Amino acid sequence: MDKITEELERKRKKAIEGGGEKRLAAQHAKGKLSARERIHVLADKDSFEEYDMFVEHRSKDFGMDKNIIPGDGVVTGHCKINGRSVFVFSQDFTVYGGSLSETHAEKICKILDQAIKLGCPIIGLNDSGGARIQEGVASLGGYAEVFQRNVLASGVIPQISVIMGPCAGGAVYSPAITDFIFMVKDSSYMFVTGPDVVKTVTHEDVSAEELGGSNSHTKKSGVVDLSFENDVLALEETRRLLDFLPLSNKDKPPIKKIIDPVSRKSGNLDTLIPDNSNIPYDMKELVLSIIDEEDFFEIQTDYAKNIIVGFGRIGGETIGIVANQPMVLAGCLDIDSSRKAARFIRFCDCFNIPIITFVDVPGFLPGTSQEHNGIIAHGAKLLYAYAEATVPKVTVITRKAYGGAYDVMASKHLRGDVNYAWPTAEIAVMGSKGAVEIIYRGSSEKEIIKKSKEYQKKFSNPFIAASRGYLDDLIRPNNTRYRIYRSLDLLKTKKLSNPAKKHGNIPL
Ligand code: HXC
């Protein structure tokens, strides 16, 4: 018995040592935490329970049979985050560069299967040189097993990926399927093909950072939701995000105790809209004013800034917020903002999170670039996402709601449950000048100005929409928080489902 205990301790020690002191020092020298240190930051104190510490790879080629490190380059298990159970895997770069072997993949698959079965979120801490080169196709098979489970888990449990080192080749596709991707600045990158292959194929000279660093992915590609200065911040924000989310699609998000009264008035909102409707204002002021304690978890802060999406709470309960931002592109909808908001709305709908929409949108962004790159299909994604969503939907039109964008932004016609407008709302087919120039084509400039004023007076207000019942009420800006709270309270019993189908065919 003593012998077995000794052997167990020896293996346990070896697993914890991972690739050894030298490699750990190299990891630290890059400003990176080790796989276990990361879990320590992520998990509630002493809550992590490790699985499969003694799993060993089965590879015999290239002398691999003489080089076995228990655990095989990934630490897996479950832990608590603010008291709720979550599964986690953390790749250990000190063991074969965190590369994914057949057994490494099996460990990840095991916790994915459990997470789906038990209805717990999964968080992946990625730091890997990709497929274990010594294993070849066994490793590729392992990746596909992980992808398959990521897809099955999608919409069932929240999946979060944190990229904390290399993530290259097909390996990027597991994070890509997950709901949220975070990156650590300067020490992580993601690309399908690295700089050397790019150079060979396209003759472009590009650094790893420029090709797939956090800057590129949070600002240009939009693949990554947020980036953070270091490992600790990325992990702390992962914990914070999780607090807004339910454990699964069968669960409700946790209710937070708050001291911010739901009837709190926001006097600042009465003067938020400038007198001149062409002057922008910061929609974030409205978002922060209506949520509890200004605690807003914004997603994709640096991408498609003409739309704001993120999580907040009212009365302690999670809401998803989608809001046009007049400060950027006048709040127009374009390809990137449509995709960004559509994906966020679908996440909320999967996970029972009510959607609050603030509308100030002059329309879809015109131009050949938008048309040729498919604004029709991409804009339709947003329309589709709103139309299929069955969670409570509350909409507030603050100013412009023009044209197709009026329809798209959670209008009554797309099953908006409660649709409000501020008195400053302008709901029309298009802006007055554009409309009059079409109706009175060929008229003098003076005549156009006169007619434009008439058109504006007639249509640039909320009354026509309200008279048709497209708006449920016109509300005072300072009372917006309370009105949304009351609507959400009412909508708690909402039951709505779409016609039975295998799945819809969103215009991807
Ligand atoms: C086995 C690997 C490995 C891999 C790294 N290592 N990648 N071992 N398989 N894929 C090992 C190294 O041999 C080294 O071992 C240790 O990890 C650290 O690697 P270094 O190169 O010293 O580190 P660094 O300079 O930081 O460079 C990291 C790296 C580089 C950029 C990730 O290692 C690299 O380019 N690796 C190969 C990446 C790759 O081509 N992977 C396959 C992609 S194809 P020692 O013993 O010296 O510490 C793929 C297909 C997936 O992933 C498809 C899924 C569908």
DSSP symbol at 100? B
pLDDT at 420 over 80: yes
For 308-347, write each residue's pLDDT tens digit. 999 999 999 999 999 999 999 999 999 999 999 999 999 9
Higher per-residue confidence, 302 vs 60? 302
Q: Which of helix, strand or coil describes residue 55?
A: coil
- Residue 116: the pLDDT is 98
User: Do residues 345 and 385 touch, judged by C-beta distance below 8 A?
Assistant: yes
Band of the pLDDT at 1, cuts 50, 70, 90?
Answer: low
Instruction: Report how far residue 142's alpha carbon sits from residue 122's, in angstroms, rounded to the nearest whole number.
Output: 18
Q: What is the mean pLDDT of residues 189-205?
A: 91
Separation of alpha carbons 94 and 22, rounded Å: 9
Does the beta carbon of 129 sit less than 6 angstroms from any atom of ligand 1?
yes
3-state SS assignment for residue 173: helix
Catalytic residue status for 405: yes
Question: 111-115, 130-134, 154-158 — which is least confidently predicted?
Answer: 130-134
Output the pLDDT for position 16: 94
192 lines ligand 1 (CB under 6 A): no
How do residues 264-286 score in pLDDT, each as one tens digit? 999 999 999 999 988 999 999 99
Per-residue pLDDT at 149: 98
Could you tell me if 155 and 104 are in contact, meaning their C-beta atoms sit under 8 angstroms apart? no
Report, as an integer, the average pLDDT of 105-130. 97
Residue 97 Cβ contacting ligand 1 at under 6 Å = yes
Backbone dihedral region for residue 495 (phi beyond 0: left; psi -120 to 50: alpha; all else: beta): beta
Give, as one character, the DSSP assignment of residue 413.
Answer: G
Given a cut of 80, whether residue 305 has pLDDT beyond it is: yes
Give every strand in the sheet of 226-228, ordered side by side: 49-51, 74-81, 84-91, 122-126, 159-163, 180-184, 226-228
Q: Which two tokens stand for residue 210?
A: 């420029």
> Which percentage of the chain shows pLDDT scores above 70?
100
Most informative mutation of 22, 96, 196 for ligand 1 (most atoms within 8 A of CB): 96
Domains delineated in the chain: 2-242 (3.90.226.10), 267-425+461-491 (3.90.226.10), 430-460 (no CATH)
Residue 105 is a catalytic residue = no
Q: Distance, CA 188 to ligand 1 centroid (Å)?
A: 14
The per-residue pLDDT for range 443-469, each reduced to its tens digit, is: 888 888 888 888 888 878 899 999 999
User: Could you tell me the CA-to-CA distances from 386 to 111, 215, 262, 281, 356 in Å, in that order?
Assistant: 33, 30, 26, 25, 11
**pTM for the model:** 0.95
pLDDT of 446 reads: 87
Q: Assess whether pLDDT exceeds 90 at residue 475.
A: yes
Q: Judge whether residue 505 has pLDDT over 80.
A: yes
Catalytic residue among 77, 169, 212, 431: 169
The mean pLDDT of 287-303, rounded to a whole number, is: 98
Mean pLDDT of the chain: 95
* CB 189 near ligand 1, within 6 Å: no
Which pLDDT does position 117 carry in this prediction? 98
Evaluate: CB of 57 within 6 angstroms of ligand 1.
Answer: no
Give the tens place of pLDDT for each residue, 227-261. Answer: 999 999 999 999 999 999 999 999 999 999 999 99
